[in-house]
Structure 1
Amino acid sequence: MKAVHLLVAIFVLSSSLVSAYDPSPLQDFCVATNETDGVFVNGKFCKDAKLVKAEDFLRHVEAGNTSNPLGAQVSQVFVDQLGGLNTLGISLARIDFAAKGLNPPHTHPRATEILFVVEGSLYVGFVSSNQDGNRLFTKVLKKGDVFVFPIGLIHFQLNVGYGNAVAIAGLSSQNPGTITVANALFKANPPISTQLLTKAFQVDKSVIDYLQKQFWSDNN
């Protein structure tokens, strides 16, 4: 009986580990399509393999427009922008920063991110979970530096140089998701209860009212 319990425990653990990340492909490619006829894999319909072209694996990414309140623009190359990524478990983003531009605190619920600085100087960091004491890990990165943000943890990038900056982020999911903390809390639709936020942040109601009335820029 103990052996059976052990096998069940191993099966449950294995299933949890496997389902925690994008599934491994069982074919060379499964290019996502907007058509609703065909094989449905990982949230996307697959294009007929005989109709797949080299263009299905190509996307050109221009410099982002940083003329927004944050002074930064994230140009995503997720599966919605590049169908050839479907089932491959990876994606990418280009981040352009004006001087003092900020990619605000956010998380990727389904991916670890690895950041490569192409140009400029960035102050970056992430915060560990409650269980690890909410420790802040930060570093100032220069051109050529690489930094990793563990999956699901809140992180940010701030341009601390005097000119523009550019970084490339690789992510371990075809659809990593992005949750910008301020937007999620103060721009939720419908709004989160003011009473709840007041108690959560231990501040006066007027502070929450003020924050909910602000325009929270989306730089994605």
Structure 2
Amino acid sequence: MKGIHSIFLACFSGLAFACFLASAFDPSPLQDFCVAINDPTDAGLNTLGISLVRIDYAPYGENPPHTHPRGTEILVVVQGTLYVGFVTSNPENRLITKILYPGDVFVFPIGLIHFQYNLGNTPAVAFAGLSSQNAGVITIANAVFGSNPPINLDVLTKAFQLDKNVVTHLQSIF
């Protein structure tokens, strides 16, 4: 019986230690907080681990396909009608879309390619919150066709199954 108690105690101790490690986290980046003032160089959300942005869309304007490698985005429409979507990761590559109206909310998971497009002939406005103070942004077309130095023509021709003249043209406009 004493052996069973020892085994139980060892297992319980190991489990408790594992739970302790699992609950460990990075220290808060909060250094101080500041109240927003009329100086555009001051960020009221600095070091709080979140970002907030207002996006104004021209009629039929878009926020082209892009990704945030370090943050999930939540978008709320306050004016206009937006067609939004994201593509799931490989190998599925499934497109998830929705048409949003004022008051609607949509979430773009961290790292996934997503977009917003204003369906109307009037301006649209949305606010987006990101789960990082530096979520990063990679605009897909700019990154692929506008890299410096350019990605090898043969690589892009094969990757996108395009004629070399088309790839050359795309590289020239990005």
Q: Deviations over 1:127-175 (max 9, x none)?
A: 00013x1000000000010000000000000000120000000000000
Secondary structure, aligned partner of 2:60: coil
Determine the structure 2 residue equivalent to 1:202: 161
Determine the structure 1 residue equivalent to 2:6: none
Determine the structure 2 residue equivalent to 1:118: 78
Q: Which amino acid aligns with 1:57?
A: V
Q: Which amino acid aligns with 2:28?
A: P
Distance 1:143 1:82 in 2: 30
Deviation at 1:83, TM superposition (A): 4.1
Distance 1:161 1:60 in 2: 33
Distance 2:37 2:166 in 1: 43
Corresponding residue pairs, total: 159
Determine the structure 2 residue equivalent to 1:90: 50
Distance change in 2, residues 1:14/1:60 (3 Å): farther
Distance 1:90 1:134 in 2: 28
Alignment equivalent of 1:102, drawn from 55, 62, 75: 62
Distance 1:26 1:143 in 2: 34
Determine the structure 2 residue equivalent to 1:57: 35
Deviation at 1:94, TM superposition (A): 1.0
Distance change in 2, residues 1:177/1:82 (3 Å): farther
Matched, 1:171 2:130: yes
Root mean square deviation, CA, Å: 2.7
Distance change in 2, residues 1:59/1:145 (3 Å): farther
Distance 1:208 1:14 in 2: 48
Q: Deviations over 1:84-130 (max 9, x none)?
A: 43331100111101110010000000000000001000000000001
TM-score by length of 1: 0.65
Aligned pairs (5 A) from 1:1-220? 14=22, 18=25, 23-25=26-28, 29-30=31-32, 56-58=34-36, 82-131=42-91, 133-214=92-173, 216=174
Q: Which amino acid aligns with 2:32?
A: C
Distance 1:86 1:99 in 2: 32
Secondary structure, aligned partner of 1:130: coil
Distance change in 2, residues 1:26/1:198 (3 Å): closer
Deviation at 1:60, TM superposition (A): 6.3
Q: Deviations over 1:3-47 (max 9, x none)?
A: 8xx99xx69x959x95xxxx44276x336xxxxxxxxxxxxxxxx
Gap regions ≥5 residues in structure 1: 32-55, 62-76
Q: Which amino acid aligns with 1:161?
A: G
Q: Which amino acid aligns with 1:139?
A: K
Q: Which amino acid aligns with 1:170?
A: G
Distance 2:104 2:29 in 1: 35
